[in-house]
Chain A
Amino acid sequence: GENVEQHPSTLSVQEGDSAVIKCTYSDSASNYFPWYKQELGKRPQLIIDIRSNVGEKKDQRIAVTLNKTAKHFSLHITETQPEDSAVYFCAASKDNAGKSTFGDGTTLTVKP
Chain B
Amino acid sequence: GAVVSQHPSWVICKSGTSVKIECRSLDFQATTMFWYRQFPKQSLMLMATSNEGSKATYEQGVEKDKFLINHASLTLSTLTVTSAHPEDSSFYICSAYTPVQGPYGYTFGSGTRLTVV
**B-binding residues in A (CB < 8 A):** 34, 41-46, 49, 89, 96-97, 99-105
* B102 CB, min distance to chain A CBs, angstroms: 9
- A96–B42 touching, CB < 8 Å: no
When chains A and B are docked, how far (Å) is the Cα of A89 from the Cα of B46? 14
A89→B44 contact, CB < 8 A: yes
Residues of chain A with a CB closer than 8 A to B108's CB: 43-45
Kindly list chain B residues whose C-beta atoms are within 8 Å of the C-beta of A104: 42-43
Least distance between B115 CB and chain A CB atoms (Å): 13
- For B41, list chain A residues within 8 Å (CB): 105
Q: Which residues of A contact B34 (CB under 8 A)?
A: 99-100
Instruction: Check if A96 sits within 8 Å of B43, measured CB to CB.
Output: no
Nearest 6 pairs of A and B residues by beta carbon: A96-B105, A43-B108, A104-B43, A102-B43, A102-B44, A43-B110
- Please give, as numbers and ranges, the residues of chain B lying within 8 Å of A34 by CB-CB distance: 106
Q: Chain B's nearest CB lies how many Å from the CB of A22?
A: 15
Q: How far is the CA of A103 from the CA of B46 in the complex (A)?
A: 12
Let me know if A42 and B110 touch, CB within 8 A.
yes
A105 to B45, CA, bound (A): 12
Give A9 Cβ to nearest chain B Cβ, in Å: 10
Nearest-CB distance from A47 to chain B (Å)?
11
12 contacts between A and B (CB under 8 A): A41-B113, A43-B109, A45-B108, A89-B43, A89-B44, A96-B105, A100-B34, A101-B46, A103-B43, A104-B42, A105-B42, A105-B43
Q: Do B43 and A100 touch across chains, with their CB atoms under 8 A apart?
A: no
Measured CA separation A45–B104 after assembly (Å): 10
Mask of B43-60 contacts with A, CB within 8 angstroms, 1/0: 111100100000000000
CB-CB under 8 A from A103, the residues of chain B are 43
Query: A6 vs B41: C-alpha distance in the bound complex, in angstroms?
Result: 14
| Contact between B46 and A100, CB atoms less than 8 A apart | yes
Interface residues of B in 65-116 (CB under 8 A from A): 93, 97, 99, 103-106, 108-111, 113
Complex CA–CA separation, A75 to B104 (angstroms): 17
Q: Closest Cβ of chain A: how far from B47's Cβ, in Å? A: 10
Q: What residue in chain B is nearest A32 (Cβ atoms)? A: B105
**Is B32 among interface residues, defined by CB-CB distance under 8 A?**
yes
